[in-house]
Chains A and B, each alone.
Chain A
Amino acid sequence: MSPFHFDSLIWHWPIAIYLFLAGISAGAICFAVLLKHFKLGKHAYKSSFVQAACLIAPLAVFAGLGILVVDLTKPFDFWKILVFYNPTSVMSVGVAVLMVYQVALFSWLACLFKEPILKWCDNRWPIVEKALNILMKFEATITGLLVILALSLGAYTGFLLSALTTFPMLNNPVLPMLFLISGISSGAAGTLLGGVLMKGNPDGKEVHFIHNIEIPLILLELALLFTFFLGLILSGGQSQVAALNAIGEGFWGWVFWAGIIVVGLAMPLAFNLFMTTSAKRKFSYVAITASCSLFGVLLLRNFILYTGQMTVA
């Protein structure tokens, strides 16, 4: 059995990328909201980190949807997913969430960048100002809605797989939680990496704020991974077979232990702890830590998708 080709394999890596992008979008926008409300206030849009998050969130969603469409066997019929809905289908509900999420996302972005937008328009189109003023009235509602939608989107990436009774490793209640938390941590990493690349101060208050959240996130992710696999092993039968196949010897076992656990979780955790004690953060520390996290989350999506489909109930 080769790691990328086996009989029961149905969904290939594009789906893993799609799940990754949806997760990072949800995570990044959560951090933009948090940064604005707890640290930066009205001038949040001037921060490189907020700007990075606000770029990542929509771009990742578009790219993810693009991949999803191209991956269909009938890509030109993709609009049928938007027209026909099936309430029992996780995918259908997820697509609906994605659509509403984008509306909320752009409304929130418009509120956030109100000043630069108005300046850019320079009173040329009074309708823009009017529209923005109406939006601003609902800013609190939009923000709340956006956070809820982002969290749903993050969990949906897990529910999409956990709805499959065919595969005992995927059909697992911990999966949505695991995907949500790892998605949020990828959003944090994306925001940090994008922020320092856009000349943000690596020792700024944004970085301190995000790092403080990142440590508990990584610990939670480790706990969830532990619960996930221990739960599978204790249930016995095919679940146990699936779990041991995944994290045992072989290609995917290496991916899990070396890639996900060491590079994706343990190293960022160590760096984070080191940075909290050391006085000053440097560009390279922040960038490397964030890259490790992103790499780990991307591996996790692929790992779960592939190993999950290896063992059939």
Chain B
Amino acid sequence: MKKERRLFLKGACVAAVGVAGASGLSIANSSTSKDDGTPNCKYALIHDENKCIGCDACSVACRETNNVPEGVSRLDIEREGPFGEYPNQFYRFTRKSCQQCEGKPCVNVCPTGAAYHDPKTGIVSVDEWKCVGCLYCIAACPYQIRFINPVTKAADKCDFCKETRLKEGRQPACVEACPTKALTFGDLKDPHSQVVEVLKTTPNYRSKTELGTRPKVFRIASQEGEIKL
């Protein structure tokens, strides 16, 4: 029995490493295959609220990697709780960062096109140079995660590390930093990617979909915590 379990764990590890390696590869590929014009990928992220322990390793890593100045942030972990009686207390953690909307309200309102949707990766980004700082996108984002970067004076937000880690062919900084593997990143268009696997097998939800935003950050709801009406 024990032996079987160990074998299973081993197998799972091998599979996990394989998948991680493969998705790492596909990232590397997509960033180098710009010339053929149709990379056809659509990055998405899953935050497993069960695995998240609220340690903030992700937001710290994000700040360092993307040079995010003090006072603003691309990523926050919001805490709710504690719920329940001591010693069975628990918190609920939710991720506050760009949802990489397919409906892209921020892109639609930007007068200069500085807020844009990158067709190659599906990532919503900001062209620092084109941005005039009218704040329209900041008002239009229903998730309220955009901010003016105090250094560049341009709108800023999470770009799935497009300009930093993805360029190096690596996973986003927050994903790499998470000690509990609560974050899964990958390509929705690749049927064998880990994100697709998780999304197909685990019940998940997205925030404020009723506004037509079609976010690409998926959440796996915390099993604990209250159910609110």
Residue B212 at the A interface, CB < 8 A? yes
Contacts of B108 in A (CB 8 A): 88-89, 163
Q: 1/0 contact trace for A135-163 toward B, CB 8 Å?
A: 00000000000000000000000000001
List the count of A-B residue pairs having beta carbons below 8 Å apart.
Answer: 84
Interface string of A77-99 (1 = CB under 8 A from B): 11011001110111110010000
Contact with B along A10-23 (1 / 0, CB 8 A): 11000000000000
Residues of B within 8 A of A (CB-CB), count = 29
Instruction: Write the nearest CB–CB distance from B212 to chain A, whole angstroms.
Output: 7
A166 contacts B132, C-beta separation under 8 Å: no
Give the interface size bracket for A toward B.
Answer: 20 to 34
Given contacts A72-B133, A72-B134, A313-B142, contact A165 B105 (CB under 8 A): yes
A92 touching B111 by the CB < 8 A rule?
Answer: yes
Judged by a CB distance under 8 angstroms, whether B113 is at the interface is: yes
User: How far apart are the CA atoms of A242 and B107 in the complex, in Å?
Assistant: 25
B144, A166: Cβ atoms closer than 8 Å: yes
Residues in B with CB closer than 8 Å to A313 are 142, 208, 211
* A164 contact set on B, CB distance < 8 A: 109, 139-140
A164 CA to B211 CA in the complex, in Å? 11
**Which of B108, B111, B130, B140: most chain A CB closer than 10 A?**
B111
Bound CA–CA A313/B212 (angstroms): 12
Asked if A73 is at the interface (CB within 8 A of a chain B CB), the reply is: yes
Subset of 10 A-B contacts with CB under 8 Å: A10-B138, A11-B135, A72-B133, A80-B132, A84-B114, A85-B111, A85-B113, A92-B111, A163-B108, A164-B139
* Contacts beyond the supplied A74-B154, A84-B113, A313-B208: 9 A-B pairs with Cβ under 8 Å: A8-B144, A10-B139, A73-B154, A84-B130, A85-B111, A163-B108, A165-B142, A166-B139, A309-B139
